[in-house]
Amino acid sequence: MRVSGIAFMGGAASRLLPASIPFRFFGAAAAYQLLAWIALLAGASDVPRFAGGLGWPLAALHLATLGVLVMTAMGASLQLLPVATRRPVAAHRWPATIWWLYTPGVAAVALGMGLPAPVLLAIGTVVVGVALVAYAVLLARNLLGASGMPVVIAHGYAALAALVVALVTAVSLVCAYLGIPLFERSSALALHMTFAAYGFMGLLAFGLSYVLVPMFALAAAPDERRARLSLILAVTALLLAAAAAAGVAPQPLRIAAVGTGAGAVVLHWRLMNSALTTGMRRSLGRSVTLMKFGWACLAASLAAGLGIACDVPFDGTAALFGLLLVAGWLLTFLLGVLQRIVPFLASMHRAPGKRLPPTPSSLTAERPLAIHFACHLAALALLVVAIVAGNPWFAAAGALAGGAGAVAFGSFLATVLRRMSLPDVPAGAREASVG
Amino acid sequence: MNAHVSGRRWVAADGIHIDVRGLSPPDPLVAILELVGSIGDATPVIVHHERDPRMLYPELAEIGWTAERITGEPGEIRLKLERAT
């Protein structure tokens, strides 16, 4: 039996999560990106010497991590991990329910931190925690019995374990604000930062990169053995950092953790660089420039972490570390990935057409992305200057530049969604227009 | 050095066949696009796959090719790829 192209594409689409699922996560992430920069502007006076504590800089940090990074990671992983695991997401209702819990929960956490209002923060933490546990269960169900790409699956498991540590320590930190001490604050804080950023988000980014970057570059799958070694080093670094946070030889173990983590990063970077330089598609534009910038900031964050471990006499070390780790590495890398996969997923999700789905290049919006690129990098540069010079005015200027970039990124996303809803172009007409 | 992902290839009356079963992602995608990119005329490509290659369709659309499912062996996804007309 011959099945028509239209019917076949319909069958493919039906096995994907509905487009509304990943795109609601991406849309919320775009909105929270803008809110993160607004919160940073509100707390600009405290940014250059920020080292923790309730206030708008902490709210900005969590709008970026929970609101943008984790929000996008959930949408992207639920869509892309089944490609690596060769297993579909079991229940389509779960992701939508998670979004409805998680999105207002993040707002409550951010408002609770910014105002500050510890009770609101606690309520938000519970809601976000429930949503993340549900996401972890969904992810674990997909990973269990998966048959594809063992190293990607191993990264998924390691990220889930790190998420558990990040959640437990988050509860401990919030309880401390309510006057209910659970774990010693500095230990909980060190564990929370390390396992949330390098652990959960970082390992998820590393694992998905082994699928995404070769796919972008049209390169062969990365060397499984080296990828596994990178993961082993990364997990070892996390365990060393955990032991240091627990008070076991703190300085030597922190330094060892940075060194081991650097080994993991070098191996990962070499695998990514190999994919980018050997792939069939060499010109990857701004998205890969942002990803490379993110990797450079990851290395720089380890250097700043070493500065903290060695008690470098500079008041802005903690702020610089946080900036490089969250905005420099994770946010920049993720925005680079997102601007490439959003048009791609939109093309995959587009309702079956007459002959061809719309091409990713016909769905994207280059001008907003160019504005976002310039504004985002300017924002990071201004924030580095603000921290180094201890000058809040540069922090405010950085927040404004970042906010402008976030508006441009939102415009890009809106354009892709609008173009997704346009009628199909017949294949012949497209060929004619391409020439 | 360019990435080279093989997949088993052979020529038959209905076109050039490529079997990408058993390859890890994104190797099937790369192997198919490598083959498609090497074809200068209207020769169809028959793909033997073990799953629905969702990521392939946007890439094919970008270079003006279409995919059509045809009858294959049990447990196999077989596709006929052709230049759009």
- Please write the tens of the pLDDT for every residue from A236-274: 999 999 999 999 999 999 999 999 999 999 999 999 999
Mean pLDDT value of segment A380-386: 98
What is the distance in angstroms between the CA of the first residue and the CA of the last residue of chain A?
35
Whether A67 shows a pLDDT value over 90: the answer reads yes
- According to DSSP, the β-strands at B8-12 and B77-83 are unpaired
Residue B53 has pLDDT above 90, yes or no: no
Minimum mean pLDDT among A30-34, A89-93, A226-230, A339-343: which range? A89-93
- Residues in chain A with CB shorter than 8 Å from the CB of B26 are 211, 214-215, 218-219, 221
Chain B positions contacting chain A at CB under 8 Å are 1-5, 23-27, 29-30, 33-34, 37, 51-52, 54-55, 57-59, 61-62, 64, 66-71, 79, 84-85
Q: Give residue-wise pLDDT tens across range B59-75.
A: 898 888 988 889 989 88
Is the pLDDT at A15 greater than 60? The verdict is no
pTM given for the model: 0.90
Which of A2-11, A415-424, B17-26, B62-71 is predicted least confidently? A2-11
**Whole-number pLDDT of residue B25:** 80
> Residues 182 to 221 of A: which have CB under 8 A from any B CB?
211, 214-215, 217-221
First vs last C-alpha separation in chain B: 34
Q: What is the CA radius of gyration of chain B?
A: 12
Inform me whether the pLDDT recorded for A347 exceeds 90: no
Give A 227-286 residues with CB within 8 A of chain B.
275, 278-280
pLDDT on residue A286: 94
The complex's ipTM works out to: 0.84
Axis-axis angle for helices A285-309, A332-349 (nearest 10): 150
List the strands of the sheet with B15-19, edge to edge.
B8-12, B15-19, B45-49, B77-83, B65-70
CA distance A354 to chain B (A): 11
Query: CA nearest A138: which of A89, A83, A196?
Result: A89
Minimal CA separation from A31 to chain B, in Å = 27
Measured between alpha carbons, how far is A344 from A401 in angstroms, rounded to an integer? 28
Please check the confidence at residue B79 and state whether its pLDDT lies above 80: yes
Identify the burial level of B21 via C-beta atoms within 10 angstroms of its C-beta, where 0-12 means exposed, 13-18 middle and 19 or more buried: middle
Judging contacts by C-beta atoms under 8 Å, the chain B residues touching residue A217 are 3
Average pLDDT, integer, range A118-134: 97
CB atoms B64 and A9 under 8 Å? no
Q: Tokens 């998205």 sit at which residue?
A: A287
Amino acid letter, A166: A
Q: Inspect the interface and report whether the beta carbons of A356 and B70 lie closer than 8 Å.
A: no
Find residue B16's DSSP bridge partners: B11, B45
Q: Which domains does chain A have, with CATH numbers?
A: 7-420 (1.20.210.10)
| Per-residue confidence (pLDDT) for residue A47, from 0 to 100 | 96
| Cα separation, A49 vs A315, whole angstroms | 6
Chain B residue closest in CA terms to A86: B51
Cα A51 to its chain centre, rounded Å, is 22
